Structure 1
Amino acid sequence: MGTEPHAAPAPLGDDPGALRRALIAAGFTLDGVADCLGPMAAAALHREQRLPADLMTREDDSPVATLVRLFALGLPVNVRQADRALAGWDTARLAAAGLVRVDGSRVTAAYDLRPYGDDSHQWWVASDLSEVMTGEPLPVDHVLGIGGASLTLASWTPRRDVRRALDLGTGCGVQSLHLTGHAASIVATDTSQRALDIAAWNAALNGVQWDARRGDLFKPVAGERFDLIVSNPPFVITPRSEGVPTYEYRDGGRVGDRVVRTLIRELPRHLEPGGVAQLLANWEVPEGADWPDVVGGWFEGTGLDAWVVQRDTQDPAEYAELWSGDGGIRSGTRDYERLYAAWLRDFAERGVAEIGFGVITVQLPQTRRRPWLDLVEVTGPVRSPMGPAIDAGLRARTWLAEAGEQRLLDAHLTVAADVTEERHGRPGAEDPSVIVVRQGGGLRRAIRVDTVTAALVSVCDGELSVGQALEAIAALLDVPTDRLVAETLPAIHDLVADGLLLTSE
């Protein structure tokens, strides 16, 4: 199945800064590639569809088009094209650095290399060639490039300035690149030496530094604590059956979802008080169980605050189809059918009814108090980047946990600028039957509220406290204030937690 390991990476060369400058001069940047391909081909390439970009660059002999074909599409170019694409980096020098292979007049990429960045940074990321480029199943030590999971984690991570950060399971180093913008020091770990070697390439190529260490989960950082931990761990639930390939990038060598469960149980020993961990996870839901009960149990006795957002679910067959075909194994082949059956047997033997995917945000409280736990399902589009909303949500939930009921009643709240209200009713009805307050950013929550909560939201302009507003509404409705407070305060709590209502503190 094409699972033999790669050869060891060659050194990147003695002057990675010169390569970075040559890439910029050639226009092999985010803007340069976008201009070369146009929006349609660029979007298709993001979905790992090469043909539109191939068609756009076939007759283009410019340096950026040559580099796109070579490093982003995995297509061969001739030596003449390769020699003139990068100033100071002819084919021989690229080959010596291990970036290309030369066969006569034909040059092919040894690695995927492409520009990447965010609003403030321009980077280049090397990784192993994908199965789309090679046409072959992936080796077991394949190092992924920039994919959907890594982009999700980067988007959801809060970007507070921190002293020490840990990128657990760094892969090619994408998360560590992001951390360089707001962490004074970074430790990057992985079980794969090949991943660490390629991450070191990417650090050198981008002129940044981090402390790379090899080992499983927290073993490389035993006894150390961090202000921020990010992890895209090998969370794929893989049958422990003979003949099922154990890809290093996706399989942590444990049964079921135990990789993430183990990681969470160990987090309290590696977070500073007030420290945050952001990670992705899969979880198994047994027959007759609900996912909040399953995942909520992971945090019992840890003392951690936890905010879990379930983003998707799959039944065992859907999950088996996704991962049996991962790595270039084609549907309908004997290998695919054998792997599909192994996944189905594994789930059936362990009574798994559903598999969830989500984002987990964890915080070690700074004060001795009862930790908070918030588990929600949000399957629709969310704001990107989500980091600012996660940061605000952590602060709001922490404030609520420490404030208590009386402080919430004393709070002067305002409605967030992105909140709108919708009212729906039967034709001709005097009053609406449904009132929804909707958030434009963040998780884009749409929360159904009753008329009292809607009335409270409508007067949240910072003038009255929550208690004063509810007292006025109770007088207007001629109902006891205590009863109104008891009925309405949970909804107000949720609106504050999700950022629809803002405190002045």
Structure 2
Amino acid sequence: MLADPSPDLCRALADDLRAVDFTSAALRQQWGPVADDAIVRGLRAVALRALGTQQDARAVLARLFVLGIPQSAAAVAAALPRTGVAGLQALGVAQAEGDDIRPLALIRPQSFADDLGDGEWWIASDLDEAAVGGPLPEDHVLGVGGASLTLAALQLPTPAATALDLGTGCGIQALRARRSTAHVVATDISQRALHLTRLNALLNGVDGIEVRFGSMFEPVVGERFDRIVSNPPFVITPRAEGVPAYEYRDGGMVGDGLVEAFTHGVGEHLSTGGVAQYLGNWETRDGIDGLDRVRGWVEAAPVPLDAWVIEREVLDPLAYAELWIRDGGTLPGSPEFTHLVEAWLDDFAARGVTAIGFGYVLLRRPPSGDAPTLARYERVGQSLGEGPLGTHLAEALAAHDRLALMDDAAVAASVLTVSSDVTEARHHMPGVADPSVIELRQGGGFARTLTSDPALAALVGASDGDLTVGVLIGAIADLLEVDAAALRADLLPRVRELLFTGFLHFA
């Protein structure tokens, strides 16, 4: 087991990084936005060219900890006067080799924004493919990637007492959960991951994060949490000889069994009203759609749960195999790549898999021990809107809970306002006065576009916090010369949907 990182050394390193303005903005200014984007894709050459022969402290640390390139011991010592070379070695993030210092971890600034404001963390993780120079080791601890950022943005911002980050990795989700939760338990099957999580918490001055070793829910048997968040090792991996089993992405089960097991077990560890949020893959298998299979998992769970599952992407077996083989650092065209593709395709064929979905899962133990009232399984393929998605999810849940207690008469008696991010687009055929298509478009949340009719568009446009829904429907019925009762029966269910999806709000 790795020794616990020294709080004093972590504070010293943070002071050194702060002193040289080791931030995302400063680094982007030093090597330019093109190099910044290239680094995300694992390409170092553009940044190295921009840095050239610069030897200021930030340039030295950028090469060492962002790009993973050894630097001279003298330059590193000068850049980190409080930490020193010995301090880096004691923290396990670098080691001396002759006159050079070789990084053992990357430390990259990562900016974030949520309801509490903007900020930035330094996140330590294992060396990436570019720094390693080939395929990653199976015990690799991943840094902050696109999936990590997505899940962090999805986390509910509403305050809670306790949270569980299952499969914490480098600890990014635990740090994000701690922003709104008093105490976070972070678990992992990797001692290296737990070491980096402790290091990152100390480096960023974040308390209240407890780490525990173990698989799935074993470290928290008998415990319940207000929030559970997980970017689990959900990648579907063949159980075949010669296929690497990366700890950060492979849970060791067949097919999408890990996501199924997580869905089955998570309810027992949620407090009443507690919410679990996680990412996952699911297979379309033997003609059964992937989202339908997820629905079956939720319905079969021993604890009844509210569910909101969003499928963001679907890949065919070949595209899925190529994606994750490249992710491990194996290059296309090599014999190893061909062997791995065949292993993946054989694995999918054996189970009758024709497609693999990726998406977000939100499960909730119903408030006050009530029966579930939310079962929403949908596909959202467009680009996401502006603003933190977690806020949008929290508002949608609040709207759902309020609407669940309201009959149609109560909805009709409500006064509503249209969200400030909603716009309307009307499409006309040339020379025709009336629009052939009316669209309501959302700038935030999931950036939904809804096809509307004149009655619904008129209701949304008139929802300015003045008149009730029922009064507006009556006026629109008179204007369109249609039956008011029939229009009310048509519009009220759609008003409920617009309130849930954030087009409308209760005034």
Question: TM range, normalised to the smaller chain?
Answer: over 0.9
**Partners in 2 of 1:97 and 1:292 — Cα distance?**
44
**Partners in 2 of 1:478 and 1:151 — Cα distance?**
50
Counterpart in the other structure of 1:126: 124
- Among 153, 156, 181, the alignment partner of 2:154 is 156
Counterpart in the other structure of 1:4: none
Kindly state the Cα deviation for residue 476 of structure 1 after the two structures are TM-superposed: 3.3
Which letter does structure 2 place at the counterpart of 1:485?
Answer: R
**Partners in 2 of 1:290 and 1:405 — Cα distance?**
33
- Among 16, 27, 34, the alignment partner of 1:22 is 16
CA separation of 1:188 and 1:347: change in aligned 2, threshold 3 A:
same
**Partners in 1 of 2:480 and 2:419 — Cα distance?**
26
Counterpart in the other structure of 2:467: 464
Which letter does structure 2 place at the counterpart of 1:233?
Answer: P
Instruction: Give deviations 1:413-447, integer Å, cap 9, x for gaps.
Output: 11111111111121111211111000111111110
- Output aligned runs, 1:166-205, within 5 Å: 166-205=164-203
Which letter does structure 1 place at the counterpart of 2:361?
Answer: I
Query: Is this contact kept in 2: 1:76–1:107, CA < 8 A?
Result: yes
- Among 62, 67, 77, the alignment partner of 1:73 is 67
Partner-residue secondary structure (3-state), 2:248: coil
Instruction: Give deviations 1:335-361, integer Å, cap 9, x for gaps.
Output: 211111111011111111111111112
TM-score by length of 2: 0.94
Partner-residue secondary structure (3-state), 1:114: strand
Query: Is this contact kept in 2: 1:27–1:63, CA < 8 A?
Result: no
Query: Is this contact kept in 2: 1:9–1:198, CA < 8 A?
Result: no
Which letter does structure 1 place at the counterpart of 2:82?
Answer: G
Query: Is it true that 1:83 corresponds to 2:77 in the alignment?
Result: yes
Query: Is this contact kept in 2: 1:112–1:127, CA < 8 A?
Result: yes
Partner-residue secondary structure (3-state), 2:298: coil
**Partners in 1 of 2:93 and 2:264 — Cα distance?**
40
- Among 473, 476, 495, the alignment partner of 2:476 is 473
Kindly state the Cα deviation for residue 265 of structure 1 after the two structures are TM-superposed: 1.8
Counterpart in the other structure of 1:5: none
Query: Is this contact kept in 2: 1:141–1:249, CA < 8 A?
Result: yes
CA RMSD of the aligned region, Å? 1.8
Counterpart in the other structure of 1:401: 404
Query: Is it true that 1:455 corresponds to 2:458 in the alignment?
Result: yes
Partner-residue secondary structure (3-state), 1:355: strand
Counterpart in the other structure of 1:97: 91
**Partners in 1 of 2:477 and 2:287 — Cα distance?**
42
Query: Is this contact kept in 1: 2:185–2:210, CA < 8 A?
Result: yes
Partner-residue secondary structure (3-state), 1:60: coil
**Partners in 1 of 2:457 and 2:249 — Cα distance?**
46
Counterpart in the other structure of 1:248: 247
Instruction: Give deviations 1:331-389, integer Å, cap 9, x for gaps.
Output: 12222111111110111111111111111122222142442112222222212421211
Kindly state the Cα deviation for residue 71 of structure 1 after the two structures are TM-superposed: 0.9
Counterpart in the other structure of 2:357: 356
Query: Is this contact kept in 2: 1:26–1:86, CA < 8 A?
Result: no
Query: Is it true that 1:377 corresponds to 2:383 in the alignment?
Result: no
Query: Is this contact kept in 1: 2:4–2:195, CA < 8 A?
Result: no
**Partners in 2 of 1:250 and 1:195 — Cα distance?**
13
Counterpart in the other structure of 2:486: 483
Kindly state the Cα deviation for residue 10 of structure 1 after the two structures are TM-superposed: 5.9
Kindly state the Cα deviation for residue 148 of structure 1 after the two structures are TM-superposed: 1.0
Query: Is it true that 1:422 corresponds to 2:425 in the alignment?
Result: yes
Which letter does structure 2 place at the counterpart of 1:344?
Answer: L
Which letter does structure 1 place at the counterpart of 2:483?
Answer: P
Instruction: Give deviations 1:71-99, integer Å, cap 9, x for gaps.
Output: 11011212221121111233343234322
Gaps of 5+ in 2: none
Task: Say how many residue pairs are matched.
Answer: 497
Instruction: Give deviations 1:285-319, integer Å, cap 9, x for gaps.
Output: 12533343222222215422222221111001100
Kindly state the Cα deviation for residue 198 of structure 1 after the two structures are TM-superposed: 1.7
Name the stretch that deviates more: 359-368 or 347-356: 359-368
Kindly state the Cα deviation for residue 105 of structure 1 after the two structures are TM-superposed: 1.9
Partner-residue secondary structure (3-state), 2:367: coil
Partner-residue secondary structure (3-state), 2:161: strand
**Partners in 2 of 1:455 and 1:113 — Cα distance?**
53
Kindly state the Cα deviation for residue 61 of structure 1 after the two structures are TM-superposed: 0.7
Partner-residue secondary structure (3-state), 1:247: coil
CA separation of 1:458 and 1:93: change in aligned 2, threshold 3 A:
closer
TM-score by length of 1: 0.94
Which letter does structure 2 place at the counterpart of 1:476?
Answer: L
**Partners in 1 of 2:375 and 2:466 — Cα distance?**
31
Query: Is this contact kept in 2: 1:372–1:401, CA < 8 A?
Result: no
Query: Is this contact kept in 2: 1:239–1:255, CA < 8 A?
Result: yes
Counterpart in the other structure of 1:412: 415
Which letter does structure 2 place at the counterpart of 1:260?
Answer: V
**Partners in 2 of 1:406 and 1:191 — Cα distance?**
53
Counterpart in the other structure of 1:313: 314
Query: Is this contact kept in 2: 1:303–1:371, CA < 8 A?
Result: no
**Paired-residue identity, %:** 45
Instruction: Give deviations 1:199-238, integer Å, cap 9, x for gaps.
Output: 1222222222311111221121111111111110111011
Instruction: Give deviations 1:457-483, integer Å, cap 9, x for gaps.
Output: 122122222222222322333433332
Counterpart in the other structure of 2:337: 336
Which letter does structure 2 place at the counterpart of 1:52?
Answer: V
Counterpart in the other structure of 1:3: none
